[in-house]
């Protein structure tokens, strides 16, 4: 201690050192955790695919972080951190907690700062609980069971499994499948499966799926857009436990004072589409398929002086987008990181994970 009396200025080394140690220690832990590459026995891409499809999941509970940076313009009432609204999942960073004990017992909790939205399936009962609105929605699945309705227009995968399933469905000859570097995720060793679209017009550069070496369950899912290394969309476990969770996790009884609504099953109901809408068509296959929908109302709203709050909202959103034109006509372009959307002035909407040029091409051929 005595050196601190003779040279009091040296005392400042202590807080500085403490601060540096804390910051440096934190950074080092992060770096080592991401740099550590566990050595795992070789496994081919085909083997990993089989592993994924044959994985039997008895039980699982864990915490999932979802990051979406799709390059969307910020829309009022959508997205944001700390929100527990299901629609906010479309952008920003979110924490979810999942429990799984067989296909008919699942619970998913979207954690907001001081709120929570739970989707609980227990047998044939499906509950959606919203703590901020203090309301619960209940629906009953048919006798045969069936899947949890996925008809939400904003449905984005909420677990790495779900995301991986959607990606694997897209595997076809246009996809190059390879094995990437192994990684440690949520403290577990994992293989990484890399899916790469061969088509140059795709905005997706790679899709990476990290698969648990022991349980063959996807632990992390990333979409990496062209021209960058940072994922535009990522779902990863930060903590995972393969014990079967307590059945009490799946029992939900609406607390007294809750507004409970009974909902019929909405599996096939087109959620937001007006009746006059034509069924959208899909042009192309695989990664570069483009969805084309005719929305005559859009054209009416865009140029006429249609009144009403919704028209104003649509106009203000469209008005903020860059105007584009070409042989195919003219319209507004929304360019995200992994997808592009084109709203033409004659009332067509084209969406795909492709470059704008490809959309123009489709718009030209699809008049």
Partner 1 sequence: MSAVDAVGDAAPSGVGTATGIGTAAEGGPAAGLDRTGGTGMGSDGQRIRRPGRAVGTRFFRSELRLIFGRRRNQAGMLALAAVPVIIAVAMRVTDVPAEGHNAPGFFSSITSNGFFVALAALGVELGLFLPIAVAAIAGDSVAGEANLGTLRYLLTVPVGRNRLLAVKYAGIVVFAFTVTLLVASVGLVAGLALFGGGPVTLLSGTQVGFGDGLLRLLAVCGYLAVGLCALGAVGLFVSTLTEQPMGATIAITMLSVTSFVLDQIPQLDWLHPYLLTHHWQAFGELLRDPVEFDALRPGLLSAAAYIAVFLSAAWARFGARDVTS
Which residues form the interface with partner 1 (CB under 8 A)?
A: 1-2, 4-6, 8-9, 11-12, 14-15, 18-19, 22, 63, 80-82, 92-93, 97, 109, 111, 113-116, 118, 129, 131-136, 239, 249, 252-259
Shortest separation between residue 186's beta carbon and partner 1, angstroms = 11
% helix, strand, coil for the chain, step of 5: 25, 35, 40
- Would the CA dihedral through 338, 116, 165, 42 be positive or negative? positive
CB closer to partner 1 out of 44 and 132: 132
Q: Which is nearer to partner 1, 3 or 300 (CB)?
A: 3
Closest C-alpha among 133, 22, 125, 156 to residue 84: 133
Q: Minimum Å distance from CB 82 to partner 1?
A: 8
Nearer to partner 1, 17 or 270 (CB): 17
> Among residues 252 and 328, whose Cβ is nearest to partner 1?
252
Pair type for strands 135-140 and 259-262:
parallel
**Residue written as token pair 């048919």:** 142
Residue 107 DSSP symbol: E
Query: How is residue 98 annotated by DSSP?
Result: E
CB closer to partner 1 out of 117 and 201: 117
**194 touches 206 (CB < 8 A):** yes
Residue indicated by tokens 């929305």: 295
Q: How many CA atoms lie within 13 A of 307 on its CB side?
A: 0
- Cα–Cα dist 179/183, whole Å: 12
- Closer residue to partner 1 in complex, CB, 65/277: 65
Q: Which candidate, 342, 345, 325, places its Cα nearest to that of 333?
A: 342
The DSSP output letter for 287 is G
Which residues, listed in sequence order, are joined to residue 136 by a DSSP beta bridge?
Answer: 129, 260
As measured in angstroms, the least distance from the Cβ of 81 to partner 1 is 7
Between 22 and 75, name the residue whose CB sits nearer to partner 1.
Answer: 22
Comparison of 14 and 75: residue with beta carbon closer to partner 1: 14
Cβ proximity to partner 1: between 107 and 220 the closer is: 107
Q: Which helix (H) or strand (E) holds 233?
A: strand 233-241
On the CB side of 328, CA atoms within 13 Å amount to 24
Angle formed at CA 156 by CA 152 and CA 161, multiple of 5 degrees: 120
Please, what sign has the CA dihedral across residues 239, 242, 244, 250?
positive
């Amino acid at each position: 201690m005595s050196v601190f009396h003779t040279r009091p200025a040296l005392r400042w080394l202590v807080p500085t050192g403490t601060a540096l140690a804390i910051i440096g220690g934190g950074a080092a832990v992060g770096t080592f955790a991401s740099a550590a590459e566990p050595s795992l026995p070789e496994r081919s891409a085909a083997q990993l695919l089989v592993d994924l499809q044959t994985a039997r999941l008895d039980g699982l509970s864990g915490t999932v972080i979802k990051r979406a940076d799709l390059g969307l313009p910020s829309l009022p009432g959508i997205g944001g951190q700390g929100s527990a609204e299901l629609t906010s999942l479309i952008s920003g960073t979110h924490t979810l907690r999942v429990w799984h004990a067989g296909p008919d017992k699942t619970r998913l909790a979207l954690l907001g700062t001081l709120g929570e939205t739970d989707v609980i399936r227990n047998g044939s009962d499906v509950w959606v609980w919203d703590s901020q609105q203090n309301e619960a929605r209940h629906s009953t699945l048919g006798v045969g069971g069936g899947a949890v309705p996925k008809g939400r227009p904003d449905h984005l995968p909420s677990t790495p499994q779900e995301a991986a399933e959607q990606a694997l469905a897209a595997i076809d000859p246009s996809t190059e499948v390879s094995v990437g570097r192994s990684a440690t995720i949520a403290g577990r060793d994992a293989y990484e499966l890399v899916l790469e679209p061969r088509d140059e017009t795709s905005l997706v550069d790679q899709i990476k799926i990290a698969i648990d070496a022991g349980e063959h369950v996807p632990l992390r899912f990333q979409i990496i857009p062209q021209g960058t290394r940072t994922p535009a969309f990522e779902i990863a476990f930060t903590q995972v436990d393969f014990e079967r969770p307590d059945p009490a996790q799946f029992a939900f009884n609406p607390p007294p004072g809750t507004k409970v609504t009974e909902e019929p099953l909405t599996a096939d109901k087109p959620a937001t589409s007006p009746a006059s809408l034509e069924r959208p068509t899909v042009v192309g296959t695989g990664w570069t398929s483009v969805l084309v929908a005719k929305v005559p109302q859009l054209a009416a709203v865009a140029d006429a002086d249609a009144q009403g709050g919704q028209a104003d909202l649509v106009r203000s959103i469209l008005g903020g987008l860059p105007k584009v034109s070409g042989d195919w006509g003219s319209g507004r372009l929304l360019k995200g990181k992994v997808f592009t959307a084109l709203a033409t002035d004659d009332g067509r909407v084209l969406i795909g994970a492709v470059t704008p040029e490809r959309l123009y091409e489709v718009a030209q051929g699809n008049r």
